[in-house]
Structure formats: structure tokens, C-alpha cells
């Protein structure tokens, strides 16, 4: 599975709750990571989501980007 296959917040939730092993590479360049976070927020229409799905998106961003939850919250604002 690639992250591009994740289209809806429900699919993202299933991915986070999944028990399958998944390998990914954290982007090393800070600017690339910022752009990826922004692209992901737009992809999932973050500002229109409910509280539950916003939390799932933030958790996904933390897990994949390597940033802490407070850092992700600052980037979202």
C-alpha cells in the first residue's frame, strides 16, 4: 500500500489501526517534510473534518513525518 491510496479519513483510520507491517522513509529535508504535511492536510480536507478525523490525520502526520504532536499542531495552524 502506498500513502497515495489513502483517499478518505476512514481509510486513514483503518491504516492507523492496522496490524500489518509497513515500511516508509522519513523525508530528510525539512522543507520537503513541511510541503508533504501541507499536501496531506489538503488531500484530506483537514479544515472540514470532524474532531475524530482531525485527530486521525494528526496522528498519521506524527507517525510518518517523525514530528512530535505539538509540532504537528503548530504546523497545522
Tens of pLDDT along the chain (77 residues) come to 467 778 888 888 888 887 555 666 667 788 988 999 999 999 999 999 999 999 999 999 998 888 999 999 999 98
In a domain, 2, yes or no: no
pTM (predicted TM-score): 0.78
The pLDDT assigned to 59 comes to 92
| Residue 30 pLDDT | 87
Range of the domain at 58: 7-13+27-76
> How far, in Å, CA of 44 to CA of 6, rounded?
9
Q: What is residue 63's predicted lDDT score, i.e. its pLDDT?
A: 86
Residue 21 lies in a domain: no
Contacts of 33 (CB under 8 A, 6+ apart): 26, 27, 65, 66, 67
Is position 20 within any domain?
no
The domain tally of the chain equals 1
pLDDT computed for residue 45 by the predictor? 94
Amino acid at each position: 500500500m502506498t500513502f497515495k491510496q489513502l483517499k478518505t479519513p476512514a481509510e486513514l483510520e483503518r491504516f492507523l489501526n492496522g496490524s500489518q507491517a509497513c515500511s516508509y522513509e522519513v523525508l530528510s529535508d525539512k522543507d520537503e517534510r513541511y510541503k508533504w504535511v501541507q499536501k496531506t492536510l489538503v488531500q484530506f480536507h483537514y479544515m472540514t473534518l470532524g474532531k475524530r478525523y482531525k485527530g486521525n490525520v494528526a496522528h498519521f502526520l506524527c507517525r510518518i513525518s517523525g514530528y512530535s504532536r505539538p509540532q504537528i499542531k503548530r504546523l497545522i495552524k
